[in-house]
Amino acid sequence: MATNAQVANANAHLTTPTRLTGAEIIWATLVGEGVDTVFGYPGGTILPAYDALRKFPVRHVLVRHEQGAAHMADGYARASGKVGVAIATSGPGSTNLVTGIATAMLDSIPIVCITANVSSKLLGSDAFQEVDITGITLPVTKHNFLVNRAEDIAPTIRHAFQIARSNRPGPVLVDITKDAEINSALFDFEAAKPRPVRPHPMLRVEQEDLDKAAELIRQSKRPIIFAGHGVTESGAMEQVRALAERTQIPVALTLLGLGGFPASHPLNLGMMGMHGEAWVNHAIQEADLLIACGMRFDDRVTGTLAQYAQKAKKIHIEIDPAEINKNVKVDVALVGDLREVLEELLPRISGRDGSVWLKTIEASKGAVAVRDIKNLPDSGHLYAAHVIHDLWRITEGNAVVVTDVGQHQMWEAQYYHHEKPRTLITSGGLGTMGFALPAAIGAKMACPEQEVWVVVGDGGFQMTAAELSTIAQEKLKINIAIINNGYLGMVRQWQEFFYERNYEATPLVSPDFVKLADAHGIEGRAVRTRAEVAEAVEAARAAKGAYLINFLVEKEESVYPMIPVGAALHEMIRRPEKDPLEESADDE
């Protein structure tokens, strides 16, 4: 908890220009930008900043690896919509951030990373723990800076925040030399304010294009709205819903779009793409109009482009001009903030009857079916789907679920039905294993009142399991569900389908995760049968502190449907008929 003295000190600096050391300026500027929590790890060059920290009302979370710091900042940003902050020392400290920065870059997440570097006179001399971190991170940051004067620290950090959160968000790195930390300068927060962002010349929505879009919607017989990550980033949930309800157009979601449109809404079709619902992918191939809202036609979403949605005209509403016509050629591009564009578009849209198309899609569900876990007899085997289904049921779809990467990530997307934005936190674009545990720490710090669940594979958990110590040290109430299939499951699945079951390097021996949790003072239990799932989930929820459940699930289960790489959207591999976990539409 910040002390009164710290708050008073920071406030005084923000209102009255004062001479401070560069190290103090770092914290004073962060506080001015609204930061109260940072994730970091100290070392020689960043020590002046750590020494000054005691004077400022900032909670520092000591991570166990700097990759964790970047993921925590990222999870913090995804859960709250605010900018997350990670701190690292020079050399290995800063290079350890790189995977986390790239993860944030690929999913357009606003984080600011502050690193220290050797003194400016030593730059370029291969000094101890010197790396060119601005060079290294150039391709994976939205922007980065090297600062070597104390007076430049405040304007640069303020500019970094502006860049991170404006237009298409993304990570920004500020590398500060040790002499800049030690020297002093006048700190004038107001004067350090960046100039307002000049709108990109292409960020202009032509009235003519809005009319064209409205006309395409009016004429369409088989339209689909795509809700992507941009819906949440723009805060356009209400506008997307209004568009769907007024026009009776169904909504398909990307992985990162889940939660942007309520799962229980009658117009929600579910997830599209490689592991999306079969009826969604079929409907896209039959559609005559796609209205893409804040999504970037990732290859996991389109399958082979040559055969993608050939019958459909396309409207793309997107804030980044570089995304227009990048993967999919579109008929109308509305370049701007999704919420603002939809607000301009909505008055041009009138009600239409969508019932024929909705009925066609509904009928196609019968053939391709809902995976209805609850109607299946208990065969004595535990499937990840059971676990996720029960977790969704018991938490009533209200938890923040932070997933790692692999099969469990796809099962979570399929069986946990997200009603609200920012309740699914997952690495989509980079697909970074090891993301979930640290990102959940960031999410919990951002939203302490929220119930936070980690859903993680036995492989990915071991990549950043050291952050259990961070959970213990910070006394965080985070529940961890390890979906333990004894394999790097998603890779094993590819080996099964495409490499003649040559399970090279995918069987995985793990420690006893419950004992590992115990070693951290964290409660836990193992679950082997479906009958035990609900009780374990309840026990985790009831526990005062963090809780870990090791779900020992079916080892060679696969995620269905699956579009093989290079195949078209409708060419999905379906579950073999006699497989125990049959997809059935009985409950429809």
Q: For binding to Mg ion (CB under 5 A), which residues are involved?
A: 457-459, 485, 487, 489
Write the interaction track for ligand TPP spanning residues 454-473; mark x where CB under 6 A is met and - where it is not: ---xxxx-------------
The Cα 273–Cα 309 span in angstroms is 12
Q: Which of 36, 130, 132, 298 touches ligand FAD by CB under 6 A? A: 298
Nearer Cβ to Mg ion (164/483)? 483
**178 catalytically annotated:** yes
432 binds, options ligand FAD, Mg ion, ligand TPP, none, Cβ within 5 to 8 A by partner type: ligand TPP
Distances in Å between the Cα of 481 and the Cα atoms of 53, 382, 390 are: 35, 14, 12
By CB under 6 A, residue 71 contacts ligand TPP: no
Phi-psi map region of 91: left, alpha, beta (phi>0 left; psi -120 to 50 alpha): left
Nearer Cβ to ligand TPP (275/408)? 408
Which H or E element spans position 454? strand 452-457
Choice among 82, 129, 420, 477 that is catalytic: 129
By CB under 6 A, residue 571 contacts ligand FAD: no
Choice among 55, 72, 105, 178 that is catalytic: 178
229 binds, options ligand TPP, ligand FAD, Mg ion, none, Cβ within 5 to 8 A by partner type: ligand FAD
Which H or E element spans position 367? helix 355-368
460 binds, options Mg ion, ligand TPP, ligand FAD, none, Cβ within 5 to 8 A by partner type: ligand TPP
Q: Which of 108, 148, 247, 506 touches ligand FAD by CB under 6 A? A: 108
For ligand TPP (CB under 6 A), the number of binding residues is 20
For the bound state, the minimum distance from the C-beta of residue 360 to ligand TPP, rounded and expressed in Å, comes to 34
By CB under 6 A, residue 110 contacts ligand TPP: no
**129 catalytically annotated:** yes
Choice among 105, 274, 490, 562 that is catalytic: 490
Pick from 399, 403, 502: nearest CA to 450: 399
Pick from 398, 365, 390: nearest CA to 269: 365
SS3 assignment, position 423: coil
**451 catalytically annotated:** no
Beta strands in 330-375 (DSSP E): 332-335
Pick from 233, 304, 241, 292: nearest CA to 268: 241
Nearer Cβ to ligand TPP (90/427)? 427
Nearer Cβ to ligand FAD (167/584)? 167
Nearer Cβ to ligand FAD (134/409)? 409
By CB under 6 A, residue 42 contacts ligand FAD: no
In degrees, rounded to 5, the angle at the alpha carbon of residue 415 between the alpha carbons of residues 413 and 417 is: 80
For the bound state, the minimum distance from the C-beta of residue 408 to ligand TPP, rounded and expressed in Å, comes to 4
Quickly tell me which residue has 């499937």 as its tokens: 383
By CB under 6 A, residue 282 contacts ligand FAD: no
The Cα 113–Cα 84 span in angstroms is 8
Footprint on residues 416-445 left by ligand FAD (CB under 6 A): 428-429, 431
By CB under 6 A, residue 228 contacts ligand FAD: yes
The Cα 53–Cα 47 span in angstroms is 10
User: Contact, 550 vs 516, CB < 8 A?
Assistant: no
By CB under 6 A, residue 321 contacts ligand FAD: no
For the bound state, the minimum distance from the C-beta of residue 552 to ligand TPP, rounded and expressed in Å, comes to 12
By CB under 6 A, residue 96 contacts ligand FAD: no
User: Contact, 43 vs 86, CB < 8 A?
Assistant: no
Q: Which of 87, 272, 284, 516 touches ligand FAD by CB under 6 A? A: 272
Nearer Cβ to ligand FAD (48/438)? 438
The Cα 112–Cα 172 span in angstroms is 5
Distances in Å between the Cα of 149 and the Cα atoms of 157, 178, 186, 259, 385 are: 13, 10, 12, 44, 55
SS (H, E, C) 173-241: EEEEEHHHHHCEEEECCCCCCCCCCCCCCCCCCCHHHHHHHHHHHHHCCCEEEEECHHHHHHCCHHHHH
The Cα 408–Cα 405 span in angstroms is 7
By CB under 6 A, residue 318 contacts ligand FAD: yes
Nearer Cβ to ligand FAD (338/452)? 338
Residues 6+ apart with CB under 8 A from 385: 371, 373, 411, 414, 415, 581
Footprint on residues 475-494 left by ligand TPP (CB under 6 A): 483, 485, 487-491
Rg (CA), the chain: 25
Catalytic residues: 66, 128-129, 178, 490
Please report, as ranges, the residues that interact with ligand FAD according to CB under 6 A: 107-108, 168, 228-230, 233-234, 254-257, 271-276, 294-296, 298, 300-301, 318-320, 323, 337-338, 405, 409-410, 428-429, 431, 490
